[in-house]
A and B are shown apart, each in its own frame.
Chain A
Amino acid sequence: MHPDKALFFTEDRILLISDLHLGKAQHFRKHGVPIPLGVADKNFSRLQALCDLFEPDRIIFLGDLFHSEANHSIERFGGFRQNNPQPCQLVMGNHDFYDQQTYDLLELECIPQIEYRNMLLVHDAAEINKDESRHIVSGHVHPAVRLKSSSRNSLRLAAFIFGESHSYIPAFGDFTGMHVMKTKDTDRVFAIAQDQVVAL
């Protein structure tokens, strides 16, 4: 686990990232909300930093790669692909509705779900059959947890949540919001505290 909201499978050198929502800033801007250009840049520079660090053999995006309609971030992503030519897969999410041509151009293999070891990697766990026996790993919900102290202090932090049958990956993109999840005692929860991943 990396505190920049990414999961890296060391054995097969796979980098797993969920919910980038690239271009969300531009989407807002188009609707009259100014967001400085820096925000989008940060997403790309963070992504590049992760690739430099791990040098993955394969990158899996767990859905919601681009936020909405065609914009500038496609080209930026094209640039990213040129620098990082390893195989890249996109598990299709609710925001991923470009035409196949675009994805082909970006050399992105689009698939509804990926089987990896004993796991099933999907974007939204809600769309999976209840009697699925494999362990489900999903994004989509932008998981976070709320922490409380006895003196009523509270914190909300993005988190990795590993359950018995389901696991949730935090959202990578800036400006994407978080959703506080109810956790079970059996869940293993890792919160992201600035530049560290903390086991809870």
Chain B
Amino acid sequence: MQSSIGIQRLEAWYAERDWKVFPFQRKAWMAYRTGEHGLINAPTGSGKTYAAIGGAISLGLERDLDKGLKVLWITPLRALSKEISLSCSRMVEELDLDWKVGVRTGDTSTKDRQKQFTSPPQILVTTPESIHVILASGKQDKLFGNLEAIIVDEWHDLVGSKRGVQVQLAISRMRRLSPQLRIWGISATIGNMDQATEALFGESYSQGQWKLIQSSKRKEIVIETLMPDKIDDMPWAGHLGLKLIDLLEPIIEDNQSILLFTNTRGQCEIWYQAILHHYPDLAGIMAMHHGSMSREMREWVEEELYHGRLKLVCCTSSLDLGVDFRPVEAVVQVGSPKGVSRLIQRAGRSGHRPGAVSKIYFLPTHALEMVEAAALREAIEQGTLETQVPHIRSFDVLIQYLNTLAVGGGFRQNEIYQEIQQTFCYESIDLDEWTWALEFLQHGGPGLQAYDEYARLFYHDGVYRIRDKRLALRHKLSIGTITSEAALNVKYTNGKKLGTVEEFFISQLNVGDNFWFAGQPLELVSVRGPDAFVKKSRKQKGKTPAWLGGRVPLSSSLAHYLRKKLFESAAGLREGPEMSAITGLFDLQSEISHLPADNEFLVEYIRSEEGYHLLMYPFEGRSVHEGMSTILANRISKHMPISFTMAMNDYGFELLSDKEIPVDKLINHELFDPRGIEDDILNSMNMTELARRRFRDIAKISGLIFTGFPGREKKERHLQSSSELLFDVFKEYDPDNWLFKQSYEELLTFQLEEERLRNTLRRIQDLEIVLTEPRRFTPLSFPIVVDRLREGMSTERLLDRIDKMTLA
């Protein structure tokens, strides 16, 4: 087949550079040219950018120029938008195409934004939030009228979040504004590729009007676990892993540039200090990177890494995505990454040369994590990956979107209803629910109808519009679905921003106290509004901030292999370096309790001076254990008035009581009956509390609470109490409110993973329950028992509880 002129010129451009056009790139270009939708399944650094944009550019090279925006490129990260626009500009300029490439993010100046409306670039690189801001501008029809394609980058990252829902909504609108629109996605492989594809294409998915384009590249990954010579030195519990810091020495010596991933920001800070203390030579060629550091600081670190000027960077998931750092030669993972995809992503940060092997060193923080290393290796061999569950029926995002459209010139309800029904997220919304959403925006529903500020829209002449300018401004400022914890800006007294810490951390400090941030000792000077002012301190002491929400639960995919490894071990099969290393620990577990085989479910009942510990080990990850412990506590307490505190980790959970628990009578299959768990969940106090917390984000996203005008942000504590009150109002006066119900649905689906919980209970039905009563804590129980973060529940009378307590 004779190639078209556009394709020929692209090929010539590749040839000039001694590059090869990969087959998947050519395939993508051709599909684009014929007007198809497509999903490019390729890892970072494989030439996916040119695969996605080449088709549009080849058409541009052939056609007469009708000016206007052609391609909208959506990326989840601002940092990536720069890289993408540079790549695109390079291709455009060197091919002498008279196109402009623009970037529009939250950082873009007002002047540049205005210019993008009057003389639009042909390619615009932007974020999901920025598109919605455009939809609220009233100028969207003109800007998007000639749009040829929308390209969604890193779809695997967006699909499982509410930003993914925003993308779906934006696509549904633009398809109407520009009927010939092509939808393209770029995604790394995830466990539920089909579902992710469906979420992107919506109705077109089942109609088969799309192409899947896969690059054949697959990278080899090697995991090496760092183990001390004497395995008995490994602690039974803990999450820092600093004991093994010596083992880093050969890695630091042998490699030019190293990334050290930790699982939380607090851990990142602590490791940075520890390494600097241990290897003082690294001062000046070592840095830190995490999501609470200011953007300027992070960009500086990225820049230095890119140019190979840093020997070691301590980082968190903030470096999982984004720009390629070719100089990185080795990656260290501290503590279990808790998921297969995350490990692959991080390992992929090294060995960027084509064909090179990605090597990752795994540094376990306690002995049992070695099993996770073995499980990870097998999971990777088997090609298992995590799924990213797309949100469905997110009423909060829908309410925000309708508000956006109302601000941007108004909307006709039947038109929009038709559009959203074509999206994956809202295909099941029926007319009643849709009418509810419109009513809610007009009047606030039964709970809020008395208050004017919740009547946001008015209906006139078939069009819904925003009621006044103040509401419109308020809305424009709050577009987005990323919500953050209560954060205070950390600033030098000259105003330079270092980053953010959570309000609760600063509230523990007094003026003059020292703390560490981004590797520097700082002294707190004053707290004013949303800012905590600091100066550099000479003292080398101080607290390290902790950020909430640090712990990621074990993924379902990894949990499967973890159990497999443990069961193998119980059967005497201990292959691989990690499993043979912790043989002693398993032997001890069998000796004083039991090591469960694949047809067994282990329950331990241990008495200590603290009370009676009931421990169970489903090995399903802490989110499932959280739900399960609540259900069991609820069921046991139906038999007798009793108070529990609960603790859990990824292997099991504990119910601790000061009363003896009649285990012989209670521990049977009936206790684990998967039927009726909805009632157990809903009846428990904790669930209301968890749903109330969950509601905070929903209230923010749906615009029920306003975080304040720039520079005059409201105190987080204030917002928190506002959203909690709203929750209570709905609970009492408007329990059918979909936003209220959504908080429970999200809690069940995403936090408690209801489906997984149900499956776990079903699995236990087929297992033999093995109850042991060890005289002391076992290797499995110890890490759970020492956990101090506990939830409580009780069915005892308040006075009986007080009786057993003393003043703290």
Contacts and interface: CB of A to CB of B under 8 A. Distances in A.
Interface of A: 28-29, 31-37, 145-155, 157, 180, 183, 189, 191, 193-194, 196, 198, 200
A191 B802 contact: yes
Contact of A36 (B645, B733, B802, B807): B733
B461 interface: no
A148 B611 contact: no
Contacts of B722: 28, 32-33
A147 B658 CA distance: 14
A155 B611 contact: no
A153 B792 contact: yes
Interface string B791-808: 010100011011011111
A153 B799 contact: no
B792 A150 contact: no
A142 to B, nearest CB: 15
B66 interface: no
Nearest to A193: B798
Given A34-B726, A149-B643, A152-B790, A198 B802 contact: yes
A36 B610 CA distance: 43
Given A147-B808, A152-B656, A152-B790, 14 more contacts: A28-B721, A34-B729, A36-B729, A147-B806, A149-B658, A149-B801, A150-B610, A150-B611, A152-B792, A153-B643, A153-B792, A153-B794, A154-B792, A189-B807
B794 to A, nearest CB: 7
B725 interface: yes
Contacts of B729: 34-36
A3 to B, nearest CB: 12
A193 B611 CA distance: 24
In this complex, the interface size class of chain B, counting residues with CB under 8 Å from chain A, is 35 or more
A33 B721 contact: yes
A90 B799 CA distance: 34
A74 to B, nearest CB: 20
B448 A34 contact: yes
Nearest to B645: A152
Most buried by A among B447, B801, B807, B808: B807
Interface of B: 447-448, 450-451, 453-454, 609-612, 643-645, 656-658, 705-706, 718, 721-722, 725-726, 729, 732-733, 788, 790, 792, 794, 798-799, 801-802, 804-808
Given A147-B802, A147-B807, A150-B609, A28 B658 contact: no
Contacts of A146: 807-808
Given A36-B733, A145-B807, A183-B807, A151 B658 contact: yes
Contacts of A155: 798, 801-802, 805
Contacts of B447: 34
Contacts of A149: 643, 658, 801, 804-806
B188 to A, nearest CB: 42
Nearest to B804: A149
A157 B805 CA distance: 12
30 contacts: A29-B451, A31-B718, A32-B706, A32-B722, A33-B722, A34-B450, A34-B725, A34-B729, A36-B733, A37-B450, A145-B808, A146-B808, A147-B808, A148-B807, A148-B808, A149-B805, A150-B609, A150-B610, A150-B611, A150-B658, A151-B611, A151-B643, A152-B656, A153-B792, A153-B805, A155-B802, A157-B802, A198-B802, A200-B802, A200-B807
Nearest to B733: A36
A152 B794 CA distance: 12
A34 to B, nearest CB: 5
